[in-house]
C-alpha cells in the first residue's frame, strides 16, 4: 500500500504541481500585502482619506469604531471595503498571470516545418526525391511534375 502511494506521489508532474501551488500561495500573500499595505492606502488618500478595510455597513444596531471591532464582536455587517480589497487582489494577480503567460508564449516560438525533401509520384503515390525525373518504384517518367 505504501509503495503504491509513493509511486503515485512521485510519478508525473505531481511534485511540480505541488511546488507551483506553494509558490502561488506565497505569491497571493505577497500581492495581498502589496494591495492592502501599499496600493489601497494610496488610493484611499487620493479619494479623501478613506480606509477601504474599514468600510462596512453595520446591520446589528450597535456602533463599533472599526470593521475589525465589528468582526471581533461577531456583528452582522456587510464588509464591502474588504470586498473591494479582494477585487483589487484578484485583478492584480490576473494581470500578472496574463503577463507571465504572454511572456512564456513569446518565448515558445512555433517551430517552422522543415522544407519538404520528397514529393509523391503522380502514378504510384510513393514518396520520391524532389528532383527525381523517374520514379524508382514504378519507373514512370516524371516530366515537369
| pLDDT confidence tier of residue 34, bands split at 50, 70 and 90 | confident
Kindly tell me if the per-residue pLDDT of 12 is higher than 70: no
What average pLDDT is seen over the chain? 84
- Tens-digit pLDDT profile for residues 67-110: 888 888 988 999 998 898 888 888 888 888 899 888 888 887 76
Question: How far, in Å, are 12, 73, 134 from residue 3 at the CA level?
Answer: 16, 50, 62
Kindly tell me if the per-residue pLDDT of 59 is higher than 60: yes
Q: Identify each DSSP E strand in the chain by its residue range.
A: 57-58, 77-78, 118-120, 127-129
How is the chain split into domains, by residue range? 2-107, 116-145
Task: Give the architecture (CATH level 2) of 2-107.
Answer: Orthogonal Bundle (1.10)
Kindly tell me if the per-residue pLDDT of 128 is higher than 80: yes
User: Residue 61 CB: number of other CB atoms within 10 A?
Assistant: 7
Amino acid at each position: 500500500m505504501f509503495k503504491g502511494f509513493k509511486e503515485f506521489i512521485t510519478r508525473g508532474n505531481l511534485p511540480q504541481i505541488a511546488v507551483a501551488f506553494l509558490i502561488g500561495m506565497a505569491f497571493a500573500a505577497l500581492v495581498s500585502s502589496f494591495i492592502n499595505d501599499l496600493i489601497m492606502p494610496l488610493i484611499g488618500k487620493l479619494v479623501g482619506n478613506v480606509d477601504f478595510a474599514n468600510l462596512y455597513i453595520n446591520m446589528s444596531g450597535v456602533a463599533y469604531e472599526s470593521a475589525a471591532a465589528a468582526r471581533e464582536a461577531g456583528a452582522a455587517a456587510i464588509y464591502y471595503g474588504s470586498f473591494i480589497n479582494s477585487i483589487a487582489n484578484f485583478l492584480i494577480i490576473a494581470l500578472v498571470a496574463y503577463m507571465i503567460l504572454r511572456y512564456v508564449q513569446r518565448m515558445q516560438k512555433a517551430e517552422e516545418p522543415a522544407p519538404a525533401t520528397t514529393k509523391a509520384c503522380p502514378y504510384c503515390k510513393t514518396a520520391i526525391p524532389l528532383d527525381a525525373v523517374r520514379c524508382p518504384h514504378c519507373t514512370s517518367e516524371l516530366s515537369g511534375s
